[in-house]
Structure 1
Amino acid sequence: MSIDSYDPCPCNSGKKYKFCCHSIGDEISKISHLHETHQTATALQLLDRLKKNHPDQPLSYITEAQILMAERRFEDALKPLEQCLEHDPDHPAAHSLLATSTFLALGYKQAQKTIYTALQKCAAIDVSLATPLAISIAIALQMRGFFLAAREHFALAMRVASQEYKQNLFMNLLEFDGDDQIPYQFRGVHILERCPIENGDQQETFEKAQRLANLGCYRLAASLFKQLAEATNQPTLWKNAAFCYAWATDEIQAAELFHKAATIEDDFAESVELETLAQLLDLNNTGDVVESVEQVYELDSLSKFLTILEQHPQLLRGNVPPPEQEQELDERTPVAYFQIIDTPIDMESKGEDITLENVHVVIGDIDVFDADRQLGQPGLVRLYAYEGDQLTTAEKLFDEALGEQGKKECGLKVVEQDDEISSNPLSPIPAEQWPLFFRWSFPQKMPIIKRRELEAQQWKKLISETWSNTKLAGLDHKTPQEAAGNEERKVALTAAAYVLDAQVLALGHFLNFDELDPSLGIFELPVLSVNESSHFNTCSSMTQNRIPVKELTDSQLMYVFNRALLIRHPRFLYDVLIEILNRDECKKEVDLDRVYSTLTEICHKRNQREEMLSWIHQGQENAREQSENAFESELQWKMRELSFRLEDTTDPNLSDFMKQIWDQYGKKTPQIKEYLKAFAQAFDLDLPWMKAATLLDQGGVPGQTTAEGIWAPGEDTPDSESDSGQKLWLPGQS
């Protein structure tokens, strides 16, 4: 190893290399090379010998554990780390790796004691050694749905990391906070608040709990905060205890304490926020769910199977997305996909007669996998559907489509599926959320705008009628209608509306409170009281949405703008963007292209078509004023406008708009004409001018397209290069 004798030892003991593992450095270097060249067995054999000859050198134990962890042999990695700690009980890196391996092998709850020991040992010598542990926990907990705990462990990793890793960790936090599939109340910062405590011993206990929480020892901190809360009954202490339990993944206990804090909190808005967190955690841990069920079949004849299924009017074949580049070697990609719908679709129809009463409902999915002869794996069919009527009907239609004869011809037979290796992609849905969940299918020729109008009607009905009459656990299994008018349930009812707000956002819609039944008496929470000295860096996402943006100074507005763009709650973000555009100084500080495109997206979700088009036109005007890349930027806006106009193929201005793009941009960027032809074909548009123009075009003119998307004469470039170089925004791209 080319390490200076007085550099820190690579085993991360905190000692100098000369006084720690210097004597085995060369052997470790050779062993690491063996592992890197996939000679892991030999490397491990040499490490065994090295440990026997130099039992007091930590680097051999650390290296063995790292190799085993790299091979995902987490349980095997525990032994060398425990051996290392027998020789050096305070070795921080050994504690950190032991905690990481234990967590990955056994889970957070079983590894908790080991994790807390590691965090405290690292803090005593080099707290940055806890960074890999914290980030491993954060990623795993996010995947398992412990969102509050995951977010706090990302923040913990940021707190303990050395400067060189902070940028990557910051990006992890940004990605988490921008994930709209996570309830927005779980995203963003949550802090442990201080409160007046007169008793000296209790104040000392508070400080100890705060220190433990800062280290990441959340259950220990939770226990102390709960002890203080029981002694003083202060809502802030119940709240702190609840957050620490949530960060320790004990969401059931956390929900209980959030409920309790909400009942004794005097401030109505704060009480609603606490109750909202409690209800969301209750939903995250409810056993009352609608489960999805997977049926698996082996298949002998793929072609025969596909031919039979394609003939059934309620089994619609869809497009299979291309496999991901980073796909695991043992993952199989479906070669065909079908939707199972409740009633036959007339595929030639334009959907004129489709209403909420007869819309086609998707009740199941079928993935089809070809056999893998090299691995000896048979063809597979996976049928997914939610339990109840949908599953019963889906299975009935599947059997009906094939018939006994078809099953024999295809060689179809049921496979007994182990639940632990099920690949079912449909997540369980809380029973009270099930009435909000719908999946529809439409004829291909039905205008997108009509589909969106139907979806808007459905959401209006679900929010104003269905939800009002759905029994909710947060209301003691009463409906909002039954809870309305009861002053004692006002907090819980308002919180239930904010839970609904999070749910519909995850389902692609968003709630306007005036959509709720007025008889429920539910209103948005009152705005915060702010002044020039107000700071918002400790505001939760739910509190942030109450900020009165018109009352902010320019600097305050810019800070809130950046936070709002990250969390992306549409109601609040819209207000922030409008206020930005009303202030000349703020407009100079922002990317106006992003502002106009975000407003376009929000209005598109709201089905506010005219306002959406007005923001697109302002985006185009802004693009024309740019000195750099004005042509490309304006063209991107034109294509964005086209994608929205194509949603309504009856738009009388659509043909002229497409001709404008053809004439204005087609000469400099010839592939635009190909895109327009493709759109005309896909949307079945009758455009006489395009046919005439195509006849006049001289085919086969040599040329090439630059990275900026501009065509220039010369030799043709290969298609692959042209495709990879184009940067134009197209419908369907984000």
Structure 2
Amino acid sequence: MAIDPYSPCPCGSGKKLKFCCPDLAGDIEKIHRMVAGDQPHAAIKHLDSLLAKQPDRASLLDLRANLELSMHEFDAARKTIEHYLAKHPRNPAALGQKAILVAASESGTAAIAPLQDALELLDDDMPLHVFEAIGAVGHALLQEGELIAGRGHLLLYAGIAPKDDNMAIKLLLRMNLQSGLPLLIRELALPRDCPEDVLWQGEFNHASRAIARGQWRIAEEMLVSLRDKAGAQPEIVYNLALVRGWLGNLELFAEGLHEYARLETNEDRAVEAEALAQLVDPSLEDPKLDTVRIAYAVGDEDALAERLAEDKRVEDYPLDPEQFEEDAPRPRSSYILLDKPTPKTRPDLKREEIPTVLGFLSLYGKRTDRPAQLELTTDREEGFEGVKSQLVDVTGGYLGEILEEEVVAEKSWSEESLSWRWRLPPGTPLDQRNELVAEGRREAILERWTEAPRAALGGKSPRETVGDPEFRLALLASALIIEQAADNPQELPLFAELRQQLGLPDNAVSDSEQNVDSRFPMVRVPQLDLSKLDEQQLDDLLNRATMLGANLAILVVGSELVARADQLQNIDLSKAFRQMVRVEPDLSRAQEWIAKARRWAEKNHRSASEWALLDLEVAIARNDSTAAQRVLEELRTVHINEPGVAEETYRILYSAGLLSADETGRPTPLAMPAGQDSAPQESSGLWTPEGDGEEVSAAGGGKSAIWTP
């Protein structure tokens, strides 16, 4: 391919190729043609012949390093880059190549330093390899779980990237939508502006320009010096904490946020900073709850197995053979131990009737190196002795002495207080399950969490710090951490009650604070008086909420937009309906949104096919065969000839297991008998939101099992 002589020279000098390395233009073009023709080794060979004559030429070394990196030949690339930097130590492109190499072969954290070296040498022009290094380092940091530093690098990349380069945005979106990532971490952390009429404005703005250019080490030095002169001003402390977080120093990031929260006079901003600090501070370790494994001797394993099979407080729980290592011993049988027998499904089932999973049992047969034994895995909490007594009662006289007891895991007492393990009756209707979960969540938040000790509260529980001014800020932040995990508008009264219990003010946004711009915190959107916002402000909030994966904000803002359907002038409500159906935790309410979307589409003379397809998915998820049959008939008779409808219908049915294949291999729909559920009644999984036996988390979403051999 032809090389534009006015394109930047690959050596990273910032000059055009024509004025920097005109004698190499033909060879560089030849190398590009080889690479484009999938001949990287031929390109390397040609480069070697050129380097034999000019071994220190920056353009050639840059091309060779780039080729070796693209081929993942990291040892060769390291030698090339070392030589490149030895001859051109102040070449930003060479340092960018080094950062890319370190990010790929070592870690993103280790690559921050060479990238900063490169950025600090830049004037106005940025070599391609330095730009690429920003994205590579940001990606590596995210993969390593360094979320604060990773976000900082990807935001810098996105700010520099051309309009058609969406790599950083896609990575940030993927991170934002990742299950379990706190909304406070997903929020866009931006540097604070300088206050007006302060003597140190010039130095502060100089540091701000360095931050914008990605020269964060320089900015850190400036801000440290400015702090020494001007004192611990909130804006200086916050920006210093931010650049330290982006440089990968999580300890100083958290320390700076704690300090900023103490200095900030706006209580809402102070609480948000303190909450984020509590989430990321590696020095805050909540008191731990041990998960223990106790091995009991068994004399007659067959008799014990029969005994366990007869007791209704014990249920089989087969394990997946693939989870065992090849030579690891496997139990002959495994079970869950319940505090009471599982009742039958019935409409008036009460929360207190649902059995709790006390532990996990594994029965091992006799081996040459050890006797038969029964292992109990459970938590060492308040009811620990009662669990052991229950096991003795269940096993009768077949349980012998304790052979071994060991701690197999530790977890935060505070986090564990927000989870509970149930064994719901098989076939519990989804609506009934949701009601029971809501009751369990209320109990977990208002009773157990308020009694659990937290490191951020000096080892005290939230209830123990009520009314203590020393812990007011930390307690407000702890409450916000719980609130920001919510995804259901129906639970807003629950958090109002929690604040009342803890003696905290409500978090409603006052009229003077309703300045809803791009910096308005998404965690505060549910407390806005949305009726006072115009349609464009609401639409902007919905777009931001969607980008951040803020489900609660999506639902409250979307609801306000839908309520104004007749007055909207420039807003397409299909986006709002689509997002609300996607994130609505209650499937019955999701069906209500779909019904409203259908009416809106009809009124605006639009096809309802999109909403019919969503209706089918929700009906199947709810095991509502009557509704599914009705929607299938609508799709067949009304929408089947619309583009993509037939394919999407088949995809939905196939994913739900409602299609079989005929002799030609083509999918054919299976009939769904009236009154019969279209999906399996009982999942084989344990302690997941979809299963009948499950661990439920009041902090949002389900958790995976922790009691495994």
Give the TM-score normalised by structure 1: 0.68
CA distance in structure 2 between the aligned counterparts of 1:196 and 1:674, rounded to whole angstroms? 59
Shift of 1:496: 0.2
Alignment-derived partner of residue 539 in structure 1? 520
The whole-number CA distance in structure 1 between the counterparts of 2:653 and 2:146 is 48
* Cα separation, 2, equivalents of 1:348 and 1:526: 43
What's 2:537 paired with? 556
Q: Rate the CA distance shift 1:155–1:673 in 2: closer, same or farther, 3 A.
A: closer
Residues 230-241 of structure 1: pairs in structure 2 closer than 5 A: 230=228, 231-241=230-240
Q: Secondary structure at the match of 1:521?
A: coil
Q: CA deviation at 1:34?
A: 7.2
Cα deviation code 1:225-258 (max 9, x no counterpart): 2443354222222122122222222121121121
Is it true that 1:514 corresponds to 2:461 in the alignment? Answer: no
**Partner-residue secondary structure (3-state), 1:96:** helix
> Which has the bigger relative contact order, CA under 8 A and spacing at least 6?
2
| Letter aligned with residue 607 of structure 2 | N
Q: Taking structure 1 as reference, are residues 85 and 681 closer, same or farther at Cα in structure 2, changes over 3 Å only?
A: closer
1:619 corresponds to which of 566, 573, 597: 597
In the TM superposition, 1:145-294 aligns within 5 A as: 145-165=145-165, 167-179=166-178, 181-196=180-195, 202-230=200-228, 231-282=230-281, 286=285
Q: Deviations over 1:354-412 (max 9, x none)?
A: 9566546497899xxxxxxxxxxxxxxxx9x999799xx9xxx9xxxxxxxxxxxxxxx
Q: Give aligned pairs, total.
A: 608
CA offsets 1:145-194 (integer angstroms, 9 cap, x no match): 322322221110022223442x4433444444444532111223222223
Q: 1:122 to 1:229 in 2, by over 3 A?
A: closer
CA distance in 1, matches of 2:104, 2:650: 51
In 2 relative to 1, CA 66–430 (structure 1 residues): closer, same or farther, beyond 3 Å? farther
Picking from 625, 635, 638, the partner of 2:612 is 635
**In structure 2, the residue corresponding to 1:433 is in which secondary structure?**
helix
1:497 CA displacement: 0.9
Equivalent in the alignment of 1:333: none
Match among 469, 478, 485 for residue 487 of structure 1: 469
Residue 499 of structure 1, CA deviation: 1.4
Residue 132 of structure 1 corresponds to: 132
Taking the TM superposition and a 5 Å limit, the aligned residue runs for 1:339-418 are: 341-343=336-338, 350=345, 358-359=354-355, 361=357
Deviation at 1:613, TM superposition (A): 4.4
Spell out, residue by residue over 1:276-309, the C-alpha distance to the aligned partner (whole angstroms, 9 max, x if none).
Answer: 1211122697487679999xxxxxxxxxxxxxxx
Matched, 1:3 2:3: yes
The answer as to 2:436 corresponding to 1:454 is: yes
Structure 1 segment 40-51 matched on structure 2, within 5 A: 47-51=47-51
Matches within 5 A, 1:2-41: 2-21=2-21, 23=23
Distance in 1 separating the partners of 2:648 and 2:70: 48
Q: Secondary structure at the match of 1:589?
A: coil
**1:77 partner amino acid:** A
Q: Which amino acid in structure 1 is aligned with residue 600 of structure 2?
A: N
The one-letter code of the counterpart of 2:233 is Q
CA 1:196–1:245: 2 relative to 1, 3 Å? same
SS at match of 1:125: coil
Question: Is residue 578 from structure 1 mapped to residue 559 from structure 2 by the alignment?
Answer: yes
- Which consecutive unaligned segments of at least 5 residues does structure 2 have? 294-308, 323-332, 363-374, 392-407, 641-645, 671-677, 681-689, 691-709
TM-score (norm 2): 0.71
Structure 2 letter corresponding to 1:257: G
Contact 1:130 1:157 in 2 (8 A): no
* Farther-moved stretch of structure 1 (659-668 vs 78-87): 659-668
CA distance in 2, matches of 1:481, 1:209: 43
Q: Where do 1:297-312 residues align within 5 Å? A: none
Aligned counterparts of 1:645 and 1:627: Cα–Cα separation in 2: 29
The alpha carbon displacement at 1:463 in A equals: 0.6
Q: 2:580 touches 2:593 (CA, 8 Å); kept in 1?
A: yes
In 2, the alpha carbon distance for the partners of 1:109 and 1:153 equals 11
Q: Does the CA contact (< 8 Å) of 1:581 and 1:587 recur in 2? A: no
When the two chains are superposed, the root-mean-square deviation of aligned CA atoms in Å is: 5.2
Shift of 1:213: 1.4
What SS does the aligned partner of 1:537 have? coil
Unmatched runs of 5 consecutive residues or more in structure 1:
295-309, 321-337, 367-382, 398-425, 648-653, 683-699, 703-715, 724-729
Q: Is the 8 A contact 2:8 2:14 kept in 1?
A: yes
CA contact (8 A) 1:252 1:285 kept: no
**In structure 2, the residue corresponding to 1:72 is in which secondary structure?**
coil
- Is this contact kept in 1: 2:343–2:353, CA < 8 A? no
Q: Distance in 1 between the 2:493 and 2:140 partners?
A: 31
Pair 626,168 (structure 1): closer, same or farther in 2 beyond 3 Å: farther
The question of whether the paired residues in 1 share the 8 Å contact of 2:244 and 2:250 is answered with yes
**Amino-acid identity (%):** 22
Q: 1:38 to 1:497 in 2, by over 3 A?
A: same
Question: Alignment partner of 2:417: what SS?
Answer: helix
Q: Cα offset for 1:461?
A: 1.2
Query: Residues 61 and 602 (structure 1 numbering): CA distance in 2 closer, same or farther, change over 3 Å?
Result: closer
Contact persistence 1:666–1:672 (CA under 8 A): no
Alpha-carbon shift at residue 455 of structure 1 (Å): 2.2
Match of 1:314 in 2: 316
Write the distance in 1 (CA, Å) between the matches of 2:33 and 2:416.
54
What is the CA distance between 1:439 and its match in structure 2? 5.5
State how far apart, in whole Å, the 2-side matches of 1:155 and 1:314 are.
50
